[in-house]
Homo-oligomer: A and B are copies of this chain.
Amino acid sequence: MNIGLDMMGGDFAPLETVKGLQSYLAEYSSPAFLFLLGHEIQLKKILSEYRIPADSYQIVHAPEVIGMQEHPTKALKEKQQSSIAVGFHMLATGKIDALISAGNTGAMMVGALFSIKTLEGVHRPTIATIIPKENGKTGMLLDVGLNADCKPENLNQFALLGALYAKNILGIESPRVGLINIGEEEGKGNVLAQAAYPLLKENKQIQFIGNVEGRDLLLDKADVMVCEGFTGNIILKLAESIYEVTRHKNINNEFFERFNFENYGGTPVLGVAKPVIIGHGISQAKAFKNMIIVAQKIIETDLLTKMKTAFES
A54 part of interface (Cβ distance < 8 Å) = no
| Stretch from A23-31, A55-63, A209-217, A293-301 forming part of the interface with B | A209-217
Copies in the complex: 2
Contact of A148 among B190, B217, B233 (CB under 8 A): B190
B241 touches A219 (CB 8 A): yes
Closest chain-B Cβ to A67's Cβ sits at a distance in Å of 16
- In angstroms, Cα B235 to Cα A218, docked, is 12
A182 touches B148 (CB 8 A): yes
B233 touches A182 (CB 8 A): yes
A134 part of interface (Cβ distance < 8 Å) = yes
Contact of A182 among B218, B234, B253, B256 (CB under 8 A): B234
- In angstroms, Cα B10 to Cα A209, docked, is 29
Q: Which residue of B lies closest to A229 (CB)?
A: B182
A145 part of interface (Cβ distance < 8 Å) = yes
Q: Which B residues are in CB contact (< 8 Å) with A216? A: 241
Q: Which residue of B lies closest to A241 (CB)?
A: B215
Q: Which B residues are in CB contact (< 8 Å) with A233? A: 182, 213-214
- In angstroms, Cα B298 to Cα A107, docked, is 50
Closest 5 CB pairs of A and B: A214-B237, A148-B190, A214-B234, A214-B238, A215-B237
6 interchain pairs (CB within 8 A)?
Answer: A214-B239, A215-B241, A218-B245, A219-B241, A234-B235, A238-B238
